Amino acid sequence: MSKDNSDKLPARITSVQPQKNNKNRYSIFINDAFLIGVSESTLLEYKLGKGVEVTPFLFKKLQKAEGRHAVKSYCMRMLGRRDYSRKELFDKLIKKEHPRDVINSVLDELEQKGYIDDRSFAEKFASDKSRLNNWGPAKIKAKLYKKGISKHDAEQSIEQAFAELNLKEIFLDLVAKKRRRFLREEDELKRKKKVFDYLSRKGYRSDSIFKYLDELLESLDT
């Protein structure tokens, strides 16, 4: 006998019982043996009740509906915690071994309904990382690419995030916080390289750093 008794189909439902640990899910029984657990939405959509005949074809439809429900429920739980890009959710779901077609179908629906919006995600990510973490454009762009954001959306979001930021002030603040470390290096050229490398690792472009490098070195001596 198979675990879900699907080898006994077709058969009529003998009872439908709410699950003890989740009142929004129901256990379907045929011949008083468990067949499948379904969500309330699946129960209502397929009008499942005592006496309804479950054929192998209907059973496969129920399995597919429940797979889709599981994917959608997982996505909504994750999106309730924070924003995610489409690729982030896709990668998480693939690791859980959900079918690609089901994943893409659910993600398409969530995009259409506005729950997933890569452009909005990119704008918020770029704004937060530039202001709260002092990341530079290059580092933000690399992270956005990794999250599946398109080149156009990444560049537009970064441009918008840095439009009103003063790079010189950001550099002065970052260098001041590491002042003691930089002053340990007495050789001026080596100190300049340390400052440059530090800002470069933060994701700022070489031309932007060189523009203010001399002033940054002077600020360490004041």
Residue 209, CB half-sphere, CA atoms under 13 Å: how many? 20
Q: Is the separation of the CB atoms in 134 and 202 below 8 Å?
A: yes
Q: Matching CATH topology for 1-54 and 67-116? A: yes
Mean pLDDT lowest for which of 3-17, 145-159, 160-174?
3-17
- CA dist 21 and 140 (Å) reads 43
Residue 205 φ then ψ, to 5°: -75, 150
Pick the CATH number of 1-54 from 3.40.960.10, 1.10.10.10, 3.40.190.10, 3.40.640.10: 1.10.10.10
At 176, list the tokens.
Answer: 């001041």
Short-list 129, 40, 132, CA closest to 142: 129
pLDDT digits (tens, 9 = 90+) for 86-117: 999 999 999 999 999 999 999 999 999 999 99
Q: Mean pLDDT of all residues in the chain?
A: 95
Would you tell me how many other CB atoms lie within 10 Å of the CB of residue 47?
Answer: 7
Q: Is the separation of the CB atoms in 17 and 63 below 8 Å?
A: no
Give residue 1's pLDDT. Answer: 35
Cα 182 from chain centroid (whole Å):
37
Cα-based distances in Å from 165 to 66, 87, 131, 215:
48, 29, 9, 18
Residue 14 φ then ψ, to 5°: -95, -25
Mean pLDDT lowest for which of 1-15, 82-96, 116-130, 159-173?
1-15
Overall average pLDDT of the 146-171 stretch: 97
- CA dist 117 and 187 (Å) reads 49
Above 50 in pLDDT, residue 2?
Answer: no
Q: Is the separation of the CB atoms in 113 and 107 below 8 Å?
A: no
Domain ranges of the chain: 1-54, 67-116, 118-162, 167-220
At 14, list the tokens.
Answer: 């003998």
- CA dist 148 and 162 (Å) reads 21
Say which CATH topology domain 67-116 has. Answer: Arc Repressor Mutant, subunit A (1.10.10)
Give residue 220's pLDDT. Answer: 93
